Amino acid sequence: MKFGVVVFPGSNCDADALHAVRDVMGQAARFLWHKDHDLRGVDCVVLPGGFSYGDYLRSGAIARFSPLMREVREFADRGGLVLGICNGFQVLLELGLLPGAMLRNKHLKFLCRYVHLRLENERTRFTHLGRKGQVLRIPIAHFDGNYYAPPETLKEIEDNGRVVFRYADADGRPTAEANVNGSLHNIAGLINAQGNVLGMMPHPERAAEPLLGSADGRVIFESLISKF
């Protein structure tokens, strides 16, 4: 399977994402420069974490206008796989490829720590090798990860099972205490209606090797790769 990791000015986790898919998961992978207009025939586009454009204006607000985003949108419309991680998720929200917006963390500080996630929807291209209710230990690192969507949108997301991950406790319960940033409904990751675009705030590329503390993020990459 061929992965393409988009590099914006200010992207920080691009090399980490490439390392995860290429060196850890053994897949073909390359960087895609934001100023190009060519997705180079990749099967999955990854929008990595970081501080694209320094988070000026709003996180992801400027990156969504990068030249390559035209091709990414067309690719997504055609059913191509897109994985947005952290800042990548924020770019997808700004592009409108996913509904909602990110606000500042409720306690007003940047937060880097491991969290537990409850896998809510195992019937996606990104999670089909996991189990519904499975608890994953994956780290977050963000200042603006407080997910918001207006009530009607939220209802639509929930009714259609488009929430993929929720912040939860070690037993998989999405409690208020487990909600580290104030996200509505403890939403940590969601998918689009077509099922080919996933955005998540936690960093699965940081949880792909046991030696770093957790390999629970692998299920996402393994699920993507398994059908190729």
Partner 1 sequence: MRDTMIDPKILANHNLTPGEYELIVSLIGREPNLTELGVFSAMWSEHCSYKSSKFYLKQLPTQGRAVVQGPGENAGIIDIGDGQVIVFKIESHNHPSYIEPFQGAATGVGGILRDIFTMGARPIALLDSLRFGPLDSPKNRSIMEGVVSGISSYGNSIGVPTVGGEIYFGENYALNPLVNVFCLGLAEKDKIFYAKAEGIGNAVLYVGSKTGRDGIHGATMASAEFVKETEHKRPNVQVGDPFKEKLLVEACLEVMDKGVIVGIQDMGAAGLTCSTAEMPAKSGTGIEIDLDLVPQREEGMTPYEILLSESQERMLIVARPDKVREVREIFAKWDLDAVEIGRVIEGGRMKVRFQGEIVVDVPVSAVVDLCPIYQRPVAPPAPPRTASDVPPVPVPDDLGAIFGKLLASPTIANKEWVFRQYDHMVQTNTMVLPGADAAVLRLKGSRKALAVSLDGNSLYARLDPRTGGKIAVAEACRNLACVGARPIGVTNCLNFGSPEKPEVMRQFKEAVAGLSEACLAFEIPVTGGNVSFYNDTEGASIYPTPVLGVVGLVQDIDRVVTPGFKGEGDAVVLIGACTGELGGSEYLKVAHGREDGIPPTIDLAMERAVQETCVEAAESGLLASAHDLSEGGLAVAAAESAFAGPGRLGCRLDLDGGLRPDALLFGEAQSRILVTVAAAGLPALLELAAKRGVPAAVVGEVGGPAIRIAQKGSVLIDIPVDAARAAWMDAIPAYFKIGEG
**Residues 132, 168: contact at Cβ < 8 Å?**
no
- 74 tagged catalytic: no
Which residue from 30, 38, 40, 56 is in contact with partner 1, where contact means CB under 8 A? 56
Residue 171 burial (C-beta neighbours within 10 Å; 0-12, 13-18, 19+): exposed
**Strands of 81-85's sheet in order across:** 28-33, 2-7, 44-47, 81-85, 197-200, 187-191, 163-168, 111-119, 135-142
- SS3 assignment, position 55: helix
- 205 tagged catalytic: yes
Subset of residues 65 to 94 that bind partner 1, contact rule: CB under 8 A: none
From the list 86, 94, 116, 142, the catalytic residue is 86
Residue 36 CB, nearest approach to partner 1 (Å): 12
Site for partner 1 contains 15 (CB under 8 A): yes
Residue 90 burial (C-beta neighbours within 10 Å; 0-12, 13-18, 19+): buried
Site for partner 1 contains 224 (CB under 8 A): no
- 203 tagged catalytic: yes
Question: Which residue's CB is nearer to partner 1, number 90 or number 121?
Answer: 90
Binding interface with partner 1 (CB under 8 A): 9-10, 12-13, 15-16, 19-20, 23, 49-51, 53-56, 107-113, 139, 141, 143, 203, 205-206, 209, 211-213
- Looking at the annotation, which residues are catalytic? 86, 203, 205
